[in-house]
Structure 1
Amino acid sequence: MKMEDIAKLANVSKAAVSLAFSGKPGVAPETRERILQVAQEAGYMPKARSIVSTKMDKSLLFLVCVNSGIVLEEYYQQPFFKELIHFIEVRCRQLGYSLIFSTMDLEYIERDIHAIAEEKRSEGMIVLGTNLTRKHIEVIHARLPNVIVLDTCFETLPVQFVEINNVMGAYQAGSYLCQIGHSFIGYIASNIRIHNFEERSRGFQLALEEWGVQIPESHRLSVAPTILTSQDSLKQQLNEYIQSGKSLPTAWFCECDYIAISAMKTMAELGIRVPEDTSIIGFDNITESVIITPELTTVHVEKEKMATLAVDLLTGSIEHGNQGKVKMMVDTQLVIRKSCAPPTDAAVVGKGTTKRQPI
């Protein structure tokens, strides 16, 4: 969807849409609000530097650092971030704040942060930290101290964070697979490494260790983490595995739902049935997890809770002063659907394994 599409839906000119998004004068307040409402309902977020509601005189900045790996230029269309942003906007409105959106290129972080600091357009800033390193956050915090970072955490930085309990979620996934009888398990990782994925790997490994289960290196595959369609690279890895004469694992843990859905589509093209031949479990519980067939068993991330905590912590600091920094971790829940099933008796016997109790 483009700015022209929003103009047609709102029955206004493209110029009016541009003025509404930028917060500049030249469009009536009621028209501006209608354009912003149409854009929100359509799930559109412009690349423009800001979207400002004229009904609110207080604002927060939502900063996204884009790259080609995890957080894309069209981040507002990525299911996980789209849901998170929606809940942030809702909480901002409830507290009387408008939300300004800004993006920057990680290659030019020093330059862009300097420009944002000079503009001084908001009382505080929520940074999407999914793809950020410790150094990135240090640079941002040095220029913009009234900040909270969402979706990552670095314990030694004097910065407020709200993150997912990634270790817990992956531990829940690993424990569930073992509980229903799987001990011949594979792992499909992202080929781009971030804090969340490293923590999920650790949590999954903790669960398997308790059950005395190990994942051989040959059962570990890696793919791009932002593709919802089948992937040739995964198809090649699976084909090579099958041609080696080995039996496929009876279950796979995928580090995010993108990878899980991509894996299911790739396996379908290879004639591998889910869950009859192998089970799949994901992480994030994005909307698409209930659209895929079979519906995806996954780890639910409390996106609304994370968004609410981030906005409340930031606005609390703005309105009541610095009362000490906090780092918050939001627990997860396992959502059991149809992509997982116990291994068949033949599969269990064929691997020379039996159901085990945790050690």
Structure 2
Amino acid sequence: MTLKEIARETGLSVSTVSRIINKENYKCTSREAEEKVWEIVRTSGYTPNLMAKELKKSGSKRPMSRNISCLFARTDNSVAEQFFSPIAQAVEQEALVQGCPLGYSFSMLHISEIQSERINKLEKDGVVVLGKPGAELDRLLREKFKNVVVVGIDVNEVPFDRVRCDGYEAAGKAIRHLYDLGHRRIGYAGLKDISAYDAYFDFFTEHNMKIDESIIHIYKSAFGIDYKAACAFLQAERELLPTAYFCSCDMIAIGIIRACRELKIRVPEDVSVVGFDNIEMGQIVSPMLTTINVPMREMGRMAVKILLDRINKGHTSQISIEFPTELIKRESSTAIQVKKA
């Protein structure tokens, strides 16, 4: 597959395809065009001729090819795959641009002999780990690899290079947004053993607000839109609904919005809903979801750059890069009229 063939299949010019693949000022192109190009690149196995480009720049020195892999460090209580998918795509794209396409990629649900064997087959130059590794995976990574970068939310305690976002601070932004809109009876829906859950409780404590356990709903998994569970607790709370819900991820928030629609509960007029992670589906659901944006693609690209820098001896000490999060205000949250005593 050549650039000319990719251009013909996408209907774009060769120069536009080249800019997209080489990350050279392609902001003028649409997201649809970008995704179309990368889909063809993935399915065709196209690799840009960066070797020739580097030889042209340097005169004669041949750059060393690197082999890297990508590993999803997922457990049963993991965040939704929808969160890590854009990061994984960015890792793949940046690796391709850097001339080292991913050699292997898989999810890690449980450590077993089979999974250990699969880790042994990973490309040995380095690995990008998506999500926080558990104790056993942590041990295996330290045994098998000299070069590891971990990407995710709250991965600050891992003994590797890190590309991260502060989930606690980000959750605080979401709850503060609802508080500033006048909400005081704010429910929580999401996972328990994460920083967003801690931020929720700490915010209430710091503002001397009463915590109502009846409007706290713990999910075992963030995967999928479990609107039936949302229907059940919203129906039970119907006589005394919270004025808002903060959700630990967008998939849960979307499930609540869907349940509200089925129960004829208006969002945001009757209850505001705020999510976390800004997946694309949040812009499609009606009303569009207010959420916290995590710069997933930027994090994925940075992870590859850090990994290659470590492989090439650019740094030897552990480094941690934190990306800022941002509150994205859309249609699912609104102010309420606070009644005077």
Sort the TM-score into its range (normalised by shorter chain): 0.7 to 0.9
Match of residue 124 from structure 1: 126
- TM-score between both structures, scaled by the size of structure 2: 0.76
Match of residue 100 from structure 1: 103
Aligned match for 1:41, one of 17, 39, 42: 39
SS of the equivalent of 1:100 reads: coil
| Cα contact 2:131–2:155 (8 A) shared by 1 | no
Match of residue 64 from structure 1: 72
RMSD: 3.0
Deviations for 1:286-322, whole angstroms, at most 9, x for unmatched residues?
Answer: 1111101111000000112311221111110011255
SS of the equivalent of 1:107 reads: coil
| Cα contact 2:170–2:292 (8 A) shared by 1 | yes
| Cα contact 1:58–1:122 (8 A) shared by 2 | no
**Mapped partners of 1:58, 1:38: distance in 2:** 26
| Cα contact 1:88–1:307 (8 A) shared by 2 | yes
Query: Residues 145 and 276 of structure 1: is their aligned pair in 2 closer, same or farther, counting only changes over 3 Å?
Result: same
Aligned match for 2:326, one of 329, 333, 342: 333
Query: Residues 234 and 44 of structure 1: is their aligned pair in 2 closer, same or farther, counting only changes over 3 Å?
Result: farther
- Aligned residue runs from structure 1 range 1-359, under 5 A: 40-41=38-39, 53=47, 57-65=65-73, 70=78, 75=81, 78=82, 80-109=83-112, 111-117=114-120, 119=121, 121-130=123-132, 132-153=133-154, 155-190=156-191, 193-194=192-193, 198-223=194-219, 224-228=221-225, 231-242=227-238, 246-320=239-313, 322-343=315-336, 345=337, 348-349=338-339
Percent of residue pairs identical: 26
Question: Relative to structure 2, which stretch is displaced further, 332-341 or 53-62?
Answer: 53-62
Query: Residues 173 and 42 of structure 1: is their aligned pair in 2 closer, same or farther, counting only changes over 3 Å?
Result: farther
Query: Residues 38 and 250 of structure 1: is their aligned pair in 2 closer, same or farther, counting only changes over 3 Å?
Result: closer
| Cα contact 1:188–1:259 (8 A) shared by 2 | yes
Query: Residues 106 and 185 of structure 1: is their aligned pair in 2 closer, same or farther, counting only changes over 3 Å?
Result: closer
| Cα contact 1:171–1:205 (8 A) shared by 2 | no
CA drift of 1:209 comes to 3.5
Deviations for 1:337-359, whole angstroms, at most 9, x for unmatched residues?
Answer: 1100011x3xx33xxx67xxxxx
Q: How many residues align?
A: 293
Query: Residues 339 and 144 of structure 1: is their aligned pair in 2 closer, same or farther, counting only changes over 3 Å?
Result: same
User: What is the letter of the counterpart of residue 187 of structure 2?
Assistant: G
Deviations for 1:15-65, whole angstroms, at most 9, x for unmatched residues?
Answer: xxxxxxxxxxxxxxxxxxxxxx979427988xxxxx784857433201124
Query: Residues 104 and 205 of structure 1: is their aligned pair in 2 closer, same or farther, counting only changes over 3 Å?
Result: closer
SS of the equivalent of 2:101 reads: strand
SS of the equivalent of 2:200 reads: helix
Question: Relative to structure 2, which stretch is displaced further, 318-327 or 253-262?
Answer: 318-327
SS of the equivalent of 2:267 reads: coil
CA drift of 1:133 comes to 2.0
Q: Which runs of 5+ in 2 are unaligned?
A: 1-8, 10-34, 51-64
CA drift of 1:149 comes to 1.2
Q: Which runs of 5+ in 1 are unaligned?
A: 1-9, 11-36, 46-50, 355-359
**Mapped partners of 2:283, 2:208: distance in 1:** 32
**Mapped partners of 2:207, 2:79: distance in 1:** 35
CA drift of 1:284 comes to 0.3
Match of residue 5 from structure 1: none
User: What is the letter of the counterpart of residue 107 of structure 1?
Assistant: H
Deviations for 1:125-171, whole angstroms, at most 9, x for unmatched residues?
Answer: 001125x3233222222222311111155555432222221011101
CA drift of 1:202 comes to 2.1
Deviations for 1:144-199, whole angstroms, at most 9, x for unmatched residues?
Answer: 23111111555554322222210111010111111111111111123xx55xxx21
